[in-house]
Amino acid sequence: MRPARYRFLTRNRLVAAVAGAAVVVEAGLRSGAANTAAWARALGRAVGRSRGR
């Protein structure tokens, strides 16, 4: 299966579902990392972040 833009959000949801926690180091407001963190929170997973500069 080739990568496609429309599959990225589904992939992020699956990553959040199988992960015990999510840690975001750097992300834009509409980034994949922010989307994964939002799914992780919605699924009851711990979400952490690293402070920026």
pLDDT for position 53: 67
Q: Evaluate whether 19 touches 47 at the Cβ level (below 8 Å).
A: no
Distance CA 6, CA 19 (A): 21
Q: How are the residues of the chain apportioned to helix, strand and coil, as percentages rounded to the nearest 5? A: 45, 15, 40
For 4-20, the pLDDT digits (tens) are 888 999 999 999 999 99
For 23-38, the pLDDT digits (tens) are 999 999 999 999 999 9
| E-assigned strand segments in 1-53 | 21-24, 46-49
Supply the DSSP symbol for 46.
Answer: E
Distance CA 1, CA 18 (A): 20
Q: What pTM value is reported for the model?
A: 0.84
List the domain range (segments joined by +) for residue 19: 5-49
- Structural domains counted in the chain: 1
